[in-house]
Structure 1
Amino acid sequence: MIDELLGRASLKERIEDLEDENERLRERYEAESDRRAEAATARQEAEQRVNRLEDRIAQLEGELEQVDDADDGVAVRRRIQVRGRRLEAILDRLDSFRTGPEGALTVAVDEAGLPESVRSTLEEPLGDRVALLEDAAPCLCCVDDAGLIAVALSPPIEPTLEPTWDDGFAIDRGTFLPTGRHALALVRTDLFALGVYDGDERVDYRGFESDVKGSHSKGGFSQARFERIRDEQIDDHLERCREAVATRRGDVDRLFVVGQRGVVDTLVAEAGLEPAGTAAVDATGDPESALEDAVRSFWTTELRVL
Structure 2
Amino acid sequence: MAGTKKVAGNLNTFFKKYSGKEKLEEEIDKLQSHILELEIDRKRFEKNETNAKRALAAKQEAEEKLKAANVKIETLTHQLEEKKEEVSEEISFALIEEVTPSQMTSYIDQLRSIRSDRESLLTAYITEKEMNLNSGFSKDAMKDLDQNSQYLIQKIKSDTGYALFYDSMQMLKEVVVPALPFERSSVERSNSFVTGALKNSLAKDISVCILAAHAGESLIGISSDKTGFDEDMIIRSSVKAKHTKGGFSQRRFERLRDEDIDHHVEKVRNSLKNMLEHAPIDIDMIIICGDTVLANYILEDIDSEIPIMERNIDAKIEKHDTDSIIRSIFSCRRYKL
Pairing 1:206-225 to 2, within 5 Å after superposition? 206-216=233-243, 222-225=249-252
- Residue 205 of structure 1 aligns to a residue whose secondary structure is strand
- Residue 304 of structure 1 aligns to a residue whose secondary structure is strand
Work out whether residues 215 and 264 of structure 2, in 8 Å CA contact, stay in contact via their aligned partners in 1.
Answer: yes
User: Cα gap change, 1:200/1:95 in structure 2, threshold over 3 Å: closer, same or farther?
Assistant: farther
Work out whether residues 122 and 188 of structure 2, in 8 Å CA contact, stay in contact via their aligned partners in 1.
Answer: yes
Structure 2 length-normalised TM: 0.55
Match of 1:134 in 2: 154
Match of 2:131 among 89, 110, 116: 110
Work out whether residues 120 and 189 of structure 2, in 8 Å CA contact, stay in contact via their aligned partners in 1.
Answer: yes
Match of 1:43 in 2: none
- Amino acid corresponding to residue 131 of structure 2 in structure 1: D
Separation of aligned partners in 2, 1:296 and 1:199 = 8
Pair 1:281 & 2:314 matched = yes
Aligned CA-pair RMSD: 3.9
Match of 2:105 in 1: 88
Separation of aligned partners in 2, 1:69 and 1:101 = 26
**How big is the shift at 1:260?**
2.0
- Residue 212 of structure 1 aligns to a residue whose secondary structure is coil
**How big is the shift at 1:285?**
5.1
Match of 2:286 among 248, 255, 277: 255
**How big is the shift at 1:153?**
0.8
Say which is worse superposed, 75-84 or 225-234, in terms of deviation.
Answer: 75-84
Aligned residues: 235
Work out whether residues 142 and 150 of structure 2, in 8 Å CA contact, stay in contact via their aligned partners in 1.
Answer: yes
Match of 1:266 among 275, 293, 297: 297
Unaligned runs of 5+ in 1: 1-64
**How big is the shift at 1:97?**
6.6
Larger radius of gyration: 1
- Amino acid corresponding to residue 71 of structure 1 in structure 2: V
Pairing 1:1-306 to 2, within 5 Å after superposition? 68-72=4-8, 76=93, 78-94=95-111, 105-108=123-126, 110=131, 112-120=135-143, 122-123=144-145, 129-136=149-156, 138=158, 139-143=162-166, 150-157=173-180, 159=182, 161-165=184-188, 168-173=194-199, 179-197=205-223, 198-216=225-243, 222-249=249-276, 251=281, 252-271=283-302, 274-279=307-312, 281-284=314-317, 286=319, 289=321, 291-306=322-337
Deviations 1:40-83 (A, max 9, x none): xxxxxxxxxxxxxxxxxxxxxxxxx8864442268755543321
Separation of aligned partners in 1, 2:292 and 2:333 = 20
Separation of aligned partners in 2, 1:282 and 1:78 = 21
Deviations 1:74-93 (A, max 9, x none): 87555433213112321344
Separation of aligned partners in 1, 2:244 and 2:149 = 53
Separation of aligned partners in 2, 1:247 and 1:72 = 55
Unaligned runs of 5+ in 2: 10-90
The percent identity for this pair of structures is 16
Say which is worse superposed, 266-275 or 245-254, in terms of deviation.
Answer: 266-275
- Residue 195 of structure 2 aligns to a residue whose secondary structure is coil
Work out whether residues 254 and 275 of structure 1, in 8 Å CA contact, stay in contact via their aligned partners in 2.
Answer: yes
Separation of aligned partners in 2, 1:170 and 1:277 = 24
- Residue 276 of structure 1 aligns to a residue whose secondary structure is strand
Separation of aligned partners in 2, 1:95 and 1:106 = 14
Say which is worse superposed, 257-266 or 92-101, in terms of deviation.
Answer: 92-101
- Amino acid corresponding to residue 277 of structure 1 in structure 2: E
- Residue 171 of structure 1 aligns to a residue whose secondary structure is helix
Separation of aligned partners in 1, 2:149 and 2:180 = 24
**How big is the shift at 1:190?**
0.4
User: Cα gap change, 1:165/1:297 in structure 2, threshold over 3 Å: closer, same or farther?
Assistant: same
- Amino acid corresponding to residue 275 of structure 1 in structure 2: I
